[in-house]
Amino acid sequence: MGIEQKTGNLGVVTTTLQNVVNWSRTNSMWPMLFGLACCAIEMMGAQASNYDMSRFGMELMRPSPRQSDLMIVAGRVSRKMAPVLRQLYDQMPDPKWVIAMGDCASCSGIFNNYAVVQGVDEIVPVDVYIAGCPPRPEGLIHGIITLHEKVKQENLKKWK
Amino acid sequence: MEVAMDDQLQSAATAMHERFGAEIHRYADDTSLIAAHDRNVELLTALRDEFRFEMLVAVTAVDYWPQVTPRFHVLYILYSMQHNSTLLVRIPLDGNMPHLRTVEGVYPSANWYEREVYDMFGVTFVGHSDLRRILMPKDWQGHPLRKDYPLGYEEVSFTFNYDEIDLRKPLAKE
């Protein structure tokens, strides 16, 4: 006899802890406000009323890494900026995820030179790459939904 | 149509030619003086005090590698507020590790310009008060705007060489 029969129609739902926690993580993701170049303009567009990213539970862009769990690297990262980016990543509390938004963050895009990091995955572990130069707000939202799908698949034993 | 040099610019250029042996060049309405490296401070002092070139617009450099004598030209761009005229002073420098006296005492704004030229081209400014890198990280090796500096550190990857490049890529740890 399961708990469903005991409780009748009191509105109790049974599920697993893994599902509940993963679901709650996806729907309250707080991205860090961190614009590096023109991709940041599209990131702002994704949050503004036209595209409204808060439909997916991320209306709060935190200006502090201590309060955020998603880093959207929006733009090219110069060699001089790289230690700063890594420090911000280290300051974010677990669990944390990284989205490389646009070609520059993914693979340095058009900037194949000495001054720009050839893909931000050299510095921080990236979960989702978004193509585009810059990607449209739909692209960013699609990347975030893709990340949500990834987070929902995370295993209880591998939680941090 | 080419515009003739005005009187002030003409007299400044002629005086510098007579006093310091500077060559006068005209190209596309720009006047430039090519002067010797050992008297750059005196030349700029004279231009500032006697010919009213009060403003140092920029200090920059050109690398003529693989030519070595001269390899670099250090370029001062001067502007006269009073006469609305611009004058370029070029200083040719020999060798791969050139030295030049700082003009910080003449134009205080040269401080950061000379740091930039040092950072990008490796020209050492003797007597500079604070000769550090200004654009690149302080532990950077080499001078990026030299012609013999490699352009990038990662080859462009295509489908045929992607695997090879990916093996060498330094990926971040968690």
Residue pairs between chains A and B whose CB atoms are closer than 8 Å: 40
* Arithmetic mean of pLDDT, B143-164: 83
Residues of B in contact with A114 (CB under 8 A): 144, 149-153
Residue type, A81: M
Interface membership of A114 toward B (CB under 8 Å): yes
Instruction: With CB atoms and an 8 Å threshold, state whether B153 touches A118.
Output: yes
Instruction: Tell me which chain B residue has its CA closest to the CA of residue A126.
Output: B172
Q: How many CA atoms lie within 13 A of A52 on its CB side?
A: 3
pLDDT range class, residue A13, cuts 50, 70, 90: confident
Instruction: With CB atoms and an 8 Å threshold, state whether A114 touches B137.
Output: no
For an interface test with A, the pick among B134, B139, B153 (most A C-beta atoms closer than 10 Å) comes out as: B153
Per-residue pLDDT of B59-100, as tens digits, reads 999 999 888 888 999 999 999 988 888 999 999 999 888 999
Name which of B44, B58, B93 is nearest B73 in CA terms: B93
Give residue A3's pLDDT.
60
Task: Give the separation between CA B145 and CA B151, rounded to whole angstroms.
Answer: 9
Q: What phi and psi values does residue B130 have, to the nearest 5 degrees?
A: -155, 65
- For A138-144, the CB contacts below 8 A with 24+ separation are A138/A51, A139/A42, A140/A42, A140/A43, A140/A46, A140/A53, A140/A72, A140/A99, A140/A101, A141/A46, A141/A51, A141/A53, A141/A56, A143/A99, A143/A101, A144/A29, A144/A53, A144/A56, A144/A58, A144/A70, A144/A99
Give residue B75's pLDDT.
93
Interface membership of B171 toward A (CB under 8 Å): yes
pLDDT range class, residue B174, cuts 50, 70, 90: low
Among the ranges A149-153, B59-63, B161-165, which has the highest mean pLDDT value?
A: B59-63
Does the interface ipTM go beyond 0.90? no
Per-residue pLDDT of A35-76, as tens digits, reads 888 888 998 888 888 888 888 877 678 888 898 989 999 888
3-state secondary structure of B87: strand
Query: CA of B123 to nearest chain A CA: how many angstroms apart?
Result: 20
Q: pTM (2 decimals)?
A: 0.77
Interface membership of A113 toward B (CB under 8 Å): yes
pLDDT range class, residue A5, cuts 50, 70, 90: low
A68 secondary structure, DSSP code:
-
pLDDT range class, residue B1, cuts 50, 70, 90: very low
Give residue B138's pLDDT.
87
pLDDT range class, residue A8, cuts 50, 70, 90: low
Instruction: With CB atoms and an 8 Å threshold, state whether A112 touches B154.
Output: yes
Instruction: Tell me which chain A residue has its CA closest to the CA of residue B137.
Output: A80
The span from the first CA to the last CA of chain B, in angstroms, equals 64
Give residue A160's pLDDT.
65
pLDDT range class, residue B2, cuts 50, 70, 90: low
Instruction: Tell me which chain A residue has its CA closest to the CA of residue B150.
Output: A114
Instruction: Tell me which chain B residue has its CA closest to the CA of residue A125.
Output: B172
Bridge-based pairing state of the strands B30-34 and B23-27: antiparallel
Instruction: With CB atoms and an 8 Å threshold, state whether A124 touches B170.
Output: no
For an interface test with B, the pick among A118, A122, A159 (most B C-beta atoms closer than 10 Å) comes out as: A118
Name which of B154, B137, B172 is nearest A71 in CA terms: B172
* Spatial CB neighbours of A144, under 8 Å, sequence gap ≥ 6: A29, A53, A56, A58, A70, A99, A128
Task: Give the separation between CA B68 and CA B146, rounded to whole angstroms.
Answer: 12
* Arithmetic mean of pLDDT, B123-139: 90
Least confident of A39-53, B136-150, B153-167: B153-167
